[in-house]
Amino acid sequence: MKKLTLLFILAASPALASEEGPFFSLRNPNFVVLIAFLLFVAIIVKFKVPALLGSLLDKRADTIKSELDEARALREEAQSILASYERKAREVQAQAEGIVVAAKRDAQAAADVAKAELQASIARRLKAAEEQIASAEASALKDVKDRAVQVAIAAAAEVLAGQMTPDRKAGLIDTAISEVQARLN
């Protein structure tokens, strides 16, 4: 405190040359201001205001440091969450690509199966059509043969009718009746 007082006295040396009389007089306003200032400084020091201000500043610094630490921790947590979401997004993208590949593969397999079934169906229908054509051809041949037989029988009947005598007709009928009786018994 003595050093501080001496410092103030030396700092006030230009004021010693004032025109208002001796410096160490209560009538000199500079001396009164110096006394008031020294009393003010003494009161501040007595009540430990610099220590109080220092502790308040330290508390504020600690608060700011804790807020910075918390902000740093929140930033790191946000970065880890972001990394997690980016990793999940990549996994989902990979799964989606896998699903698309599987869907294309399944669609191709289904198309191949449908193509094979269509070819088999076409082959069956061709075979059925060929069988119907063969059946119609056989039926047409049978109809032609039947008609040829009918025409031949009719022609033979006409020829035989023209060559047959009534006695011969009666003999053929008797022979046919006896043949039927022999077969039935």
**Residue range 43-100, pLDDT digits in tens:** 988 988 888 889 999 999 999 999 999 999 999 999 999 999 999 999 999 999 999 9
Q: Is residue 113 part of a domain?
A: yes
Q: Please count the residues of the chain.
A: 185
Task: Supply the range of the domain harboring residue 51.
Answer: 30-142
Lowest mean pLDDT among 2-16, 23-37, 75-89, 165-179: 2-16
- Rounded Cα distance between 34 and 4, Å, is 12
pTM for the model: 0.39
The pLDDT value given to residue 165: 76
The answer to whether position 184 is within a domain reads no
- 121 in a domain, yes or no? yes
Q: Is 12 exposed, middle or buried (0-12, 13-18, 19+ CB in 10 A)?
A: middle
In this predicted structure, which of 90-94, 151-155, 157-161 has the lowest mean pLDDT?
157-161
Buried b (16+ CB within 10 A) or exposed e, 22-43: ebeeeebeebeebeeeeeeeee
Confidence of residue 168 (pLDDT cuts 50, 70, 90): confident
Would 148 be classed as within a structural domain? no
> Average pLDDT of the chain?
86
| 108 is a domain residue | yes
Residue 182 lies in a domain: no
Is there a domain that residue 44 lies in? yes
Please report whether residue 15 resides in a domain. no
In 3D, which of 39, 33, 7 has the Cα closest to residue 20? Answer: 33
Instruction: Please give the pLDDT value at position 6.
Output: 55
- What would the two tokens of residue 51 be? 């220590």
Domain count, the chain: 1
